[in-house]
Structure 1
Amino acid sequence: MKHLWAPWRMEYIQGDGSPEAGCIFCVRDLAGEDEKRLILARGEHAFVIMNKFPYTNGHLMVAPYRHTAELGELSEAEILEMHRMLAFSQRALTQCMAPQGFNIGLNLGRTAGAGIEDHLHMHLVPRWNGDTNFMPVFADVRVIPQHLEATYRHLSRCFSSWGT
């Protein structure tokens, strides 16, 4: 029997980091904790954060600082900065990780798949040819080949030019 070592999964299974434990996207005043929280870039209205429970390595999210679940409540400035951060993030991931494609989207509401439904956020998931295998289908397990902290260190170099 082979073992798949994924120590970060226990936190997810046990519910730590769930919406009930506090909103992970309400980080405006927590700039000193960016590395701990896996925040790669901050703007005036929005920020880029790594997904702690990713579909693939480099799975990022872009969120506004303002706590809202309603897309229609975003200001023009929030929408523009989030879109610019999304485009910058795609370029940074392309430069750092060389994916062959991306999935980009929003899950609005629990029924649509939002794990955290009270604070909207956009997902940017890099994809590689052959990155889908039998594990998610048969075992409900995702294989993430690199530790989150190593991915953060790698990507933080590519995000150092944000805002310049």
Structure 2
Amino acid sequence: MKDYDGTELGEGEPASGFAAVPDSFQRLWTPYRMAYISSNSEKAPQQHDCPFCEAPRLDDEKALIVARGTLAYVLLNLYPYNTGHLLVCPYRHVATYDEATPQELAEIGELTQVAMRVLRETANVDGFNIGMNQGRIAGAGIAEHLHQHIVPRWAFDSNFFPIIAGTKAVPRLLGEVRAEIANAWPPRD
């Protein structure tokens, strides 16, 4: 199995080989999350002020971009609520919906429709949460750059982790999901 950046992941070691007293806890082993933890350290390189302005300048795989339009693009959320959680962003740095041009809004809408079709095809999605948080007070993590969330949902996708442990189990690696969605994205006319 490979990590999101292509490095080989080990199979892990069984706990039975270590000196310890077994307990009643189940472990959710997510070694690929170490990249996110270490990126918050003081030693991590300084990031651009706006990740949605920086992403289009990068390689699609590195930026998790699945499709590019003329005025907007689609990328995977780096911190997804569910597998396949996409964001649709205008290239132009605007903060709120009312600052976007009619052409930008039209393309965001078109890209959202295509994203829904592709997610249904690739992931057998049962439904979607689609929305925008406008402003930090409304819950926008990156309030300075407009972005729309497309969160795929399945009939039985809830589990006890978010409720009990404040944890979300995401069963697939970002790079794997990005490649699948990008490969299924229809060509532009």
Normalised by the length of structure 2, the TM-score is: 0.78
- Aligned match of 1:22: 49
In 1, are the aligned partners of 2:56 and 2:91 still within 8 Å (CA)?
A: no
1:62 and 2:62 matched: no
- Aligned match of 1:152: 178
Between stretches 86-95 and 4-13, larger displacement belongs to 4-13
Distance 1:85 1:147, change over 3 A: same
Mapping for residues 10-49 of structure 1, pairs under 5 Å: 11=36, 15=40, 21-27=48-54, 30=57, 33-49=59-75
Q: Which runs of 5+ in 2 are unaligned?
A: 1-24
One-letter amino acid of the structure 2 residue matched with residue 99 of structure 1: V
In 2, are the aligned partners of 1:56 and 1:126 still within 8 Å (CA)?
A: yes
Task: Mark the structure with the bigger radius of gyration.
Answer: 2
The CA deviation at 1:5 is 2.4
Q: Distance in 2 between matches of 1:87 and 1:13?
A: 35
One-letter amino acid of the structure 2 residue matched with residue 104 of structure 1: I
Q: Distance in 2 between matches of 1:48 and 1:39?
A: 6
After superposing on structure 2, the runs of 4+ consecutive aligned residues of structure 1 that deviate more than 4 Å are none
Distance 1:134 1:120, change over 3 A: same
The CA deviation at 1:24 is 1.3
Normalised by the length of structure 1, the TM-score is: 0.89
1:5 and 2:32 matched: no
Q: Give the SS at the match of 2:51.
A: coil
The CA deviation at 1:28 is 7.3
Q: Distance in 2 between matches of 1:46 and 1:15?
A: 28
> Which digits, 9 at most, give the CA deviation of each residue in 1:120-153, with x for residues without a partner?
1000000011111110011010000111111112
Mapping for residues 110-129 of structure 1, pairs under 5 Å: 110-129=136-155
Q: Which runs of 5+ in 1 are unaligned?
A: none
In 2, are the aligned partners of 1:12 and 1:53 still within 8 Å (CA)?
A: no
1:102 and 2:141 matched: no
Q: Give the SS at the match of 1:150.
A: helix
Between stretches 104-113 and 118-127, larger displacement belongs to 104-113
The count of residues paired between Structure 1 and Structure 2 equals: 161
Residue identity (%): 38
